Each structure stands twice: as C-alpha cells, then as structure tokens.
Amino acid sequence: MARAASPDTRTTCPYCGVGCGVRAEMQEGRIIAVEGDAEHPANFGRLCVKGSALHETLGEHGRLTRPRLDGVDVDWDTALEAVATRLATTRDAHGPEAVAGYLSGQLLTEDYYVANKLFKGFLGTPHLDTNSRLCMASAVAAYKRSLGADAVPCNYEDLEDAELVVLVGSNLAWNHPVLFQRLRAAKTRNPLLRVVVIDPRITDTCELADLYLGVRPGSDARLFTGLLAWMAERGKLDRVYLERHTRGLDATLDEARRDDVSLEAIAADCDVDPERLETFFYWFASQLHVVTLYSQGINQSSSGTDKCQAIINCHLAGGKIGLPGAGPFSITGQPNAMGGREVGGLANQLAAHMDYDSPGAVERVTRFWSTASLVPRLPEAPGHKAVELFAAIERGEVRAVWIMATNPVVSLPDARRVRAALAQCPLVIVSECMADTDLLEVADIVLPASGWSEKDGTVTNSERCISRQRGLMAPPGEARHDWWIISTVAQRLGFGEAFGYTHPAEIFAEHARLSGFENAGEGRRCFDISALADLERDAYDALAPIQWPVTARAPQGTPRLFEDGHFATPDGHARLLPVAPRGPLQALDERRHCRLNTGRVRDQWHTMSRTARASRLMNHRAEPFIEVHPEDARALGLEDQALAQLEGEGGEYRGRVRLSPAQRRGEVFVPIHWSDRFSASAVAGDLLAAHVDPLSGQPESKHGAVSLAAL
Ligand code: SF4
C-alpha cells in the first residue's frame, strides 16, 4: 500500500538576514520543536539561540484574533469595507498622494508584491516605503551608484574562501550568529584566514579578530578613503582591473587626497593606533581574496551611502570583487529586506528593480499590470522615504496610512513625534499579529494578520537566496494572510480583475514574470528570476533555496555576480566615486556630551513582540540598560546597576547602568528593543534626531548625542 507523503515542514527563520533553513517537528498540528535544516545553504543545520527557540514563541496567547474598527471588534466584512471606503474617500477628496503605506522586512515577498501593486499601481500614490529603509538603504544606494544595480555580489561561501575578512559596523556574533559560526569554523579549518574587526565597541565578534580597530564613531569613510590613498601611494592598485572594468579612479583619488593621507593623520582622525592601522592597510592591500562585510554600523548614518561607497572603492581599486572570497558584502538586518527591494518596496523604486527614471519603466509596468478593463495609474516620481513619510503625516499632507508588520512609534528616530503625528492622522490602518503593541493605540482600523509558521511565501536573504516560508499551522482566530487582506481590499476598491489571487504561488509567478518582462536593461538583468515564472503550485511548494538571477542561462541560480568584470551600468564599467568624509549630524555639545550608539542584543528581535514570549530569551538581557565606560561612570558617580537617564533630541531613556570597558570613553550604548509596553521611557528612538542620509534617506540611528545622569 502506498504511504501518504509526509508534509514538508521545512521553512525559514523569521529573524535576521542570514535566512537560516528550519525544520519543524509537528504534533497534532502544532510545532513542538525546531532544528536547523541540514540541507539549507545558509546554515547547513545550524541555528542560533533565537532560531532554536522559535517554537517557544508560538501560541494564541497575546495574538490579535479579530478585526477592530474604531476600538470595537467587528467581522472581516465590516473591517474590509471600512478600509476600502475610507481609503477611497481620502484619495477622492485629497488626491492619491494623501494615501500612503508603510511595510516591513518581516513581510513575505508575495505580500510586498501585492502591496506595491495596490499602492503604486492602482491607488496611484508613490508613498509606499518600508522599515527596510532603516536597515540597508545606504548599501542599496551605493551598490546602484557604483555597480549599476542593487545587487550584492558575494555569497556566504565567500566568507569561508577569503584570506581576509573585514567586519566593519557589524557585531556578527550577536546579529548574524550563524554566519559568525560559519566564519569561526572556516578560521578553524584555515588558520591563515585573518579577521579584522572595525567597531567603536569591543563586541563578542572580536573573539575572532586577529586585529581590532576601535574607531571613533562615524570615521569609517575617512578610514577607507585613507586606505585607498595608501594603496595608491604604495603601488597596491590593480591597474589592469581598474583600466578594464572601472571608471572614476582619478577623481576619487583626488578627493581622497584633499585630506592629509599620512598614516598619522588618518589614525588621529579615526582615533586608532597608527601601527595597527598600517597593519590593516597592509593586510587589505596585499591580499586579493578580501571580503568586507558591513551592516548597520555603516548604513545607519547621515553619510551612510558615502561610507558604503568608500568600501566599494577600495575593492574595485584592488580588483577584489567578482572572485571567490572577495567583495564588498552588505548584510541585511531583516529576514526579507532583500525580497522587499526585489518587488519595489522602497519609495524610490517602482517595481522589480526598476526605478522611476529607468527608461520606459513607468509605461512598461503600466502595461504589465493592465487587465482587459483596468489600466493602472502609476505615479511618475518617487515618494516619501520613511522619515519624510511620517513628517508628511505630521504636516497633514498624508491623511491615510496603512502600516503592516512594523512599529514605527518605537523604531523610527524622534519616535514620540511619529506617535503624535499618527495620533492626529485621520486614518491609520494597522495589520498586525499581536494584540498589544504601542502602535495599536493610534490605529483606527486593526487587521489581524497571520504570522511565521502560519503563512506561505518566499523570503530572500543577504546572499540573494530565495527560500520558502511554509504555512504549517492554522492562524489563530480570524487572523488572515497579508496578501489576502490586501487583495481583498483591492477588490473592494474596484480592482478585482488585477487582484484575483487565490494562492501566493500565483503572486510569485507574476512577480517572476515581471522580473523578466521586456528586461533588456543591465541593472534589471541582475535581478531576473523569469525562469521561475512557470512554477505550478506543487513546484512552488517544493521550491528549494536558489540565488537570483535565475534565468534560462542560469536555471540553478547565480552564486556570485560580476565574475566577468562586466557590471550593471550602461557601459558595463563599475564606478569609483569621490567620497568626502563627514561626521555625524547629531553633534555633541556641552549639554549633550555623550555619543550614543544603538543596536540589538543577542537574544531579542526588534520590538520583542515575538522573542519576549520565550523566557529563555529574556534571560540574556532582562531589561533596558545603558552601557557606560567605568571611568565615565565614576566621573558621574554612577555605580554598576544604578538607574540612570539619557536625554536626547526627542526625549529621555531610562535604564540600568552596565559598566563596560568595551565601551569607548564618552560613548554609551543602548538596545533598540524596549518600548513603553515593557518599561517606561526606554525607547531608543526617543533619543535620536531624525537626520537622514541625503541619498538613501536612511536615518542616523548610530550616532545620537545625549546627556547622561543618575536618576
Ligand atoms: Fe534565525 Fe538569524 Fe539565528 Fe539564523 S542566524 S537562526 S536566521 S536569527
């Protein structure tokens, strides 16, 4: 007798951008345990402590299970009708630009695709952005300017194949732990593999460091422009590679040489030991197989795009790109920050890696999304990026916003102002899994959404690998999938012909078709997954992890980009671009004399709506804290574990002092996770001014200016 096939219980971790494969053990329709998927190319069976506790975060307790309208529980029919009617009323009365959406790297690519299509395509507003803006927008901007496309050239194996790995602005050990485990294993296998850690704080990542540079916060661009000049002075540039594959060296070097490029001057500006700096420069210049891995410490800056560019410049100048074990590697924070970019989830994107200024893009997408009787009306120009979007809400220009799977009243800078703006916004719609987030207090309409292990779709991790997340359990109560909620609202708005999806497989197929639709552009060709456009439901369900582009010429995917030295720019040459290093815009003064650094802790994720449900994850850091150098604490009369207060541009933060010699003098660190829901006055975003990078729009969340005092 034939045995029934076991259900596929492989899925993907919903936390960080490593994107580990997970296998779930099921019992009576519930997940009772998880383990790493030994066949997934991101983790080969490994999981970190957060991933291994996933099953402990599940359960109906605390979940949002019914739609709510103006504070009253209602049925779905009433809620959806209210969403459609109020959005249409706002658009008709005030124009499409009065309507906006704010998405999340937690959404699946299919959810993102449908949201982008509804907002930009059929509601006709450009104002659709995402919390991924807070994560990697600067890296995106630099890749596009320099390589011609938002296309991460490297993969995780490159970390293992490298001779030198430079970790800059990344606490890999805490924020991408499985990648850290892979690097540690690679270093054990190959003792010649060197690791350099560049970070103002001595973090657990330094366990692997052969060399540590504790730089002054914000000095990264000075460090890498100095490195470029140093390489040029000592004949360490790859002149053949530069000549064949790049443009812009001379102007870039001229700009780099405007500053004093002596080692002593660079070391003084970066506040590091000149000998250590020279060692780093020598190691970087003398090895070909170098990976520089960077994350929020680089991106979250008012000059984040330039910092990324300065790193890319050094790689291009040394020909250290497009090779095994070489390249500038931006690693994303969120599980699907990359997938959101693929479909156009950033306000400056249109769809499928097309920008508004891509030749013919608006007309092409219009044709692709048109149906027999519907023609979308796409905006002609980019919309507001995250910080500016909430400023437009504050000004009353945006009068209706639909926020999905994120909590901007905690995560954005100047968070109190964001909360106040939303409180006076005429229409705030929130799609959310949990019943008690801070954001729900300002929501007019609340829509219960399905969560991890309940929804089906795809995510793309930091190495461009598309993986399936699988729906293994039924959502609680009346919670529904995001793609269904958005599509149903679209149908009620009269766009049903374009939103008749019955399964995420249909959305993925359309997304894959659009990626290859009339795709002749160099930049877009990087992201072409049209070979996946014909996947039937069964094949979609069984889809194995695969790295884009996936085309007829590369049906098994593409592990590494630009191996032939041909880039995605119109002429095929990469660009070195001049960088003028500049410091943080949040300046220190007599009153606010401490440099504030913010970040994640090892066992928590973002606003803790999921990780706080697992008690063992709370054991690592149980409450908000302020890390202070012991000498600074002594000068202020602060003891370890004493309560203290920081005061910054947007408010205060209270927490216990943790004395830490790993902290530089005059600098403090606070975690980003806590909110008023867990602890009064512990929102890191309240301390930060809303300064952004002028190109990427990414907020300067790593460089606050605060005062510190005992409570
Ligand atoms: Fe999940 Fe990231 Fe941990 Fe992997 S490293 S298990 S993706 S949190």
Give the architecture-level CATH label for domain 10-57: 2-Layer Sandwich (3.30)
**Closest ligand 1 atom to Cα of 22:** 6
Cβ of 20 closer than 6 Å to ligand 1, yes or no, is yes
**Closest ligand 1 atom to Cα of 605:** 8
Q: What are the boundaries of each domain within the chain?
A: 10-57, 63-132+361-444+474-501, 135-333, 502-557, 594-710
Place of tokens 């399905």: 450
**Are the CB atoms for 193 and 163 separated by under 8 Å?**
yes
- Report how far residue 652's alpha carbon sits from residue 687's, in angstroms, rounded to the nearest whole number: 6
- Report how far residue 101's alpha carbon sits from residue 130's, in angstroms, rounded to the nearest whole number: 8
Averages of pLDDT over each 10 residues, the chain, 711 residues: 65 97 96 97 98 96 97 98 98 98 97 98 98 96 96 97 98 98 98 98 98 98 98 98 98 97 98 98 98 97 98 98 98 88 94 90 96 96 98 98 96 95 98 95 98 97 97 97 98 98 98 93 85 95 96 95 96 97 95 96 91 92 95 97 94 96 97 83 93 98 96 91
Place of tokens 């302020």: 626
**What is the CATH number assigned to the segment(s) 594-710?**
2.40.40.20
Ligand 1 centroid to Cα of residue 52, in Å, is 9
Helices 415-423 and 386-394 cross at an angle (nearest 10°) of: 50
611-649 exposure pattern, b = at least 16 Cβ within 10 A, e = fewer: bbbbeebbeebeebbbbbbeebbeeeebeeebebbbbbb
Identify the residue whose C-alpha is closest to ligand 1 atom 6.
51
Ligand 1 centroid to Cα of residue 35, in Å, is 11
> What pTM, to 2 d.p., does this model score?
0.97
Pocket probe for ligand 1: among 10, 11, 12, 16, the residue whose CB has the most ligand atoms within 8 Å is 16
Q: What does 454-521 look like in DSSP terms, one character per residue?
A: T--EEEE-TTSEEEEE---SPPSTT-B-HHHHHHHHHIIIIIGGG---SSHHHHHHHHHHHHHTT---
Cβ of 48 closer than 6 Å to ligand 1, yes or no, is yes
Ligand 1 centroid to Cα of residue 607, in Å, is 16
Ligand 1 centroid to Cα of residue 613, in Å, is 17
Cβ of 217 closer than 6 Å to ligand 1, yes or no, is no
Tokens of 524: 């877009």
Identify the residue whose C-alpha is closest to ligand 1 atom 4.
20
Query: Residue 153's pLDDT is what?
Result: 97
Cβ of 50 closer than 6 Å to ligand 1, yes or no, is yes
**Closest ligand 1 atom to Cα of 18:** 7
Whose CA is closest to 332, among 138, 53, 577?
138
**Closest ligand 1 atom to Cα of 176:** 5
Specify which residues 588 forms β-bridges with. none
**Are the CB atoms for 650 and 689 separated by under 8 Å?**
yes
Query: Residue 693's pLDDT is what?
Result: 98
Ligand 1 centroid to Cα of residue 40, in Å, is 12
Predicted ipTM beyond 0.85: yes
Cβ of 605 closer than 6 Å to ligand 1, yes or no, is no
- Report how far residue 404's alpha carbon sits from residue 400's, in angstroms, rounded to the nearest whole number: 13
Ligand 1 centroid to Cα of residue 94, in Å, is 44
* Residue 129 half-sphere exposure toward CB, CA atoms < 13 A: 25
**Closest ligand 1 atom to Cα of 16:** 2
Is the previous residue joined to 549 through a cis bond, with omega within 30 degrees of 0? Answer: yes
Residue 89: count other Cβ atoms within 10 Å of its Cβ.
14
- Report how far residue 433's alpha carbon sits from residue 479's, in angstroms, rounded to the nearest whole number: 8
**What is the CATH number assigned to the segment(s) 135-333?**
3.40.228.10
Q: Which CATH number fits domain 63-132+361-444+474-501: 3.40.1350.10, 3.40.50.150, 1.10.3470.10, 3.40.50.740?
A: 3.40.50.740
Place of tokens 């003028």: 580
Query: Residue 6's pLDDT is what?
Result: 65
